[in-house]
């Protein structure tokens, strides 16, 4: 009997995620330049000229980079008029964050209107999480700030995939969440037999060839202690970034209140609740600035 050299078939859930992600434009032939740009930015050997070329091929991405570069969020004294100058002044990490924001926006715009989740509120929560996670990474020096930003910004990208896979289950989850805000999101996903949002975003990150740290942090952002030890600090940073985002008032249908910060995440970062409360005040202004920069409000 001849052994087959073909790879083993993907699990059914994995195939569901890939099909739904392709329908939103985050994977497949219709995917926009955001994922390609982020994958390139994660390459330590990337050449700046290659990044400039890719961004300039996408007028919307080009406009986004320049608009954010000239926003009060970065506080630059002189206007930036070219992509090359933006990369030079902002650095690769900042441009990677802008690309991630563009990816999120485009994915949300393709999700449709007859859905269970307020996508504008979800986007604002994601931006708040990104800003807060980046602040935590800078202040605690336990995780790379750029990865904390992207992990925070895209940690709920899987929700959009879930909406494609089973919109009726998502409506039921939202109703359950409102009836009992203390119910665990993982428990509700299991009750309604829908693939978890953490698994969805981890599959997407893996398909984008992002670093293992981001894949692990996205897969375990609700329970950071489940992440591999090498990536646990990033997962904890994203978890507490989401908590701070909610504490700053940026909630949505599946995350309605901040609640109590995750004790395990605090322990991993060597923090107490009082440390988190101290960061919250500064985070509120930083989050508001980033909302204006990325959403042009």
Q: What's 156's domain CATH number?
A: 1.10.3210.10
In a domain, 233, yes or no: yes
Boundaries of domain holding 260: 12-295
Is residue 77 classed exposed, middle or buried when 0-12, 13-18 and 19+ CB atoms within 10 A define those classes?
exposed
What is the pLDDT at residue 3? 47
Whole-number pLDDT of residue 111: 63
pTM, rounded to two decimals: 0.85
Q: What is the mean pLDDT of each run of 10 residues along the chain (297 residues)?
A: 48 80 70 64 75 84 86 83 89 78 73 71 91 91 88 90 89 89 88 92 86 92 96 96 93 87 95 89 84 73
The answer as to whether 162 is a domain residue is: yes
Assigned domain for 230 exists: yes
> For residue 180, which phi and psi values (nearest 5 degrees)?
-140, 85
Please tell me the total count of domains within the chain. 1
Residue 6 in any domain: the answer is no
250 inside domain: yes
Quote the DSSP letter at residue 174: H
Chain-centre distance of CA 219, in angstroms?
11
- Predicted confidence at residue 62, as pLDDT, reads 87
In a domain, 5, yes or no: no
Model pLDDT, residue 220: 96
Who contacts 142 (Cβ-Cβ below 8 Å, separation ≥6)? 233, 236, 237, 268, 269, 270
pLDDT score at 11: 58
Give the pLDDT of residue 297. Answer: 45
**How far is Cα 65 from Cα 146, in angstroms, rounded to an integer?**
16
Looking at residue 101, its pLDDT comes to 78
Which residue has 């890719």 as its token pair? Answer: 54
Provide the H-helix boundaries in 166-230.
167-179, 185-191, 197-207, 212-219
Report if residue 20 sits inside a domain: yes
Do residues 214 and 151 touch, judged by C-beta distance below 8 A? Answer: yes
Residue 7 forms part of a structural domain: no
Q: Which residues pair with 252 in a beta bridge?
A: 255
């Amino acid at each position: 009997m001849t052994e087959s050299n073909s790879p083993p078939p993907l699990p059914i859930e994995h195939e569901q995620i890939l099909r739904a992600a392709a329908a939103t434009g985050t994977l497949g032939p219709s995917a926009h330049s955001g994922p390609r740009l982020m994958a390139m930015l994660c390459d330590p050997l990337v050449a700046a000229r290659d990044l400039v070329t890719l961004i300039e091929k996408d007028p919307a991405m080009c406009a986004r980079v320049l608009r954010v570069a000239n926003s009060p969020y970065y506080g630059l004294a002189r206007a930036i008029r070219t992509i090359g100058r933006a990369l030079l002044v902002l650095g690769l990490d900042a441009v990677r964050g802008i690309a991630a924001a563009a990816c999120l926006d485009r994915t949300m715009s393709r999700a449709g209107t007859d859905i269970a989740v307020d996508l504008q509120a979800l986007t604002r929560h994601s931006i708040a999480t990104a800003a807060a996670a980046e602040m935590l990474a800078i202040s605690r020096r336990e995780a790379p700030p750029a990865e904390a930003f992207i992990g925070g910004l895209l940690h709920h990208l899987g929700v959009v995939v879930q909406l494609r896979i089973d919109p009726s289950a998502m409506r039921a989850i939202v109703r359950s969440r409102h009836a009992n805000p203390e119910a665990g999101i993982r428990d509700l996903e299991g009750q309604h037999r829908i693939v978890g949002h953490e698994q969805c975003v981890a599959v997407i990150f893996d398909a984008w060839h992002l670093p293992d740290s981001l894949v692990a942090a996205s897969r375990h952002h609700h329970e950071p202690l489940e992440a591999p030890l090498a990536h646990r600090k990033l997962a904890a940073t994203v978890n507490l970034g989401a908590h701070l985002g909610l504490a700053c008032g940026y909630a949505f249908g599946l995350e309605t209140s901040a609640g109590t910060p995750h004790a395990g995440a605090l322990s991993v970062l060597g923090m107490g609740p009082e440390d988190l409360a101290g960061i919250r005040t500064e985070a509120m202004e930083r989050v508001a600035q980033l909302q204006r920069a990325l959403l042009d409000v």
